[in-house]
Amino acid sequence: MDYTYSIPQSYYDFLKNISNRKKIELINWLSNSMLENKKENPDDFFDCFGAFISDKTAEKQVEEIRNSRNFSIKNI
């Protein structure tokens, strides 16, 4: 038996048992979020992915991350 679920189907299965009132509230929130979405098509390719912008080199960023690590030994 092959089960192939789409994302909408998964959400439906998850939410189908909530009350009608909560479903209407959710529909309202989703509808409002669509109306508030002012930027339909990103102008820049990297806007699609939330690109990280920095003037530092990759090596400098790696060095800063490694230096900022704090490890401690915890007794469990």
- pLDDT at 76 exceeding the cut of 60: no
Query: How many CB atoms within 10 Å of residue 55?
Result: 5
Range of the domain at 29: 1-36
Q: Please state the rounded mean pLDDT for residues 41-69.
A: 78
Is residue 11 a part of any domain in this protein? yes
> In this predicted structure, what is the pLDDT of residue 26?
92
In a domain, 25, yes or no: yes
Three-state DSSP class for residue 74 = coil
Instruction: Note the Cα 38 to chain centre separation in Å.
Output: 18
Alpha carbon separation from 46 to 4, 40, 50 (Å, rounded)? 31, 14, 6
**Which among 13-22, 28-37, 63-72 has the top mean pLDDT?**
13-22
The predicted model scores a pTM of: 0.40
The total domain count for the chain is 1
Residue 29 located in a structural domain = yes
- Residue 43: per-residue pLDDT: 62
- The pLDDT assigned to 21 comes to 95
